[in-house]
Copies of this chain bind each other. A is one copy, B any other.
Amino acid sequence: MPRTPDSIVTALLERNARVTAPRREIIDCISQVPRTFTAEDVCGELPHIGRATVYRTLKILQDADIICKVVMPGDEMAYSVSADLDHEPGAANIPPHHHHAVCTVCTAVRYFNAEAIERAIKALSLSVEGVMGEIIDHRIEVYDVCPRCVATDPE
């Protein structure tokens, strides 16, 4: 379930942040595509909005877990609109633990959380004797060619 502009506006209001015209435009801009983007991308799309406003707005959205950073194949960072998982039953306001699959062709990001991987990482602390200490957190990025790009690409 992708983020709709409305759900983002609601999330902003819940955090007592004002919903201004520039913010609405930025929200519409980034929720139109499932691909990763940078602050500079948004500035390019919305040249009439001040750079500072774009950067400040993206920071707010990141703090609100509406967008998050993903590591791209070349080690650069980019933003991605988070999946709309916030209102799932039982999740309260804690953003659920998740990982990213990034398409190496179109940069579309999909979210997943595989129990098997979580279990394997927990088991790590035991298996690699003396190497791993107390595991606190982890980050996983999977790079793939997404189903749509697999279907499109001739080879």
Contact = CB atoms under 8 A, between A and B. Distances in A.
A93 B60 CA distance: 45
A146 interface: yes
Copies in the complex: 2
Contact of A149 (B125, B131, B133, B138): B133
Chain A facing B: main interface SS: mixed
Contact of A71 (B128, B131, B132, B139): B139
B114 A117 contact: no
A29 interface: no
A121 interface: yes
Contact of A117 (B110, B121, B145, B150): B121
Contact of A144 (B101, B135, B145, B149): B135
Interface in A25-43: none
A139 B136 contact: no
30 contacts: A71-B139, A75-B77, A77-B77, A101-B132, A103-B133, A104-B136, A110-B132, A112-B131, A114-B120, A114-B121, A114-B128, A116-B120, A116-B123, A116-B127, A117-B124, A121-B140, A121-B142, A130-B147, A132-B144, A132-B147, A133-B145, A134-B145, A134-B150, A136-B145, A138-B140, A138-B141, A138-B142, A139-B140, A139-B143, A140-B140
Given A117-B121, A135-B143, 9 more contacts: A71-B71, A110-B131, A112-B132, A117-B117, A117-B124, A133-B145, A134-B150, A136-B143, A139-B143
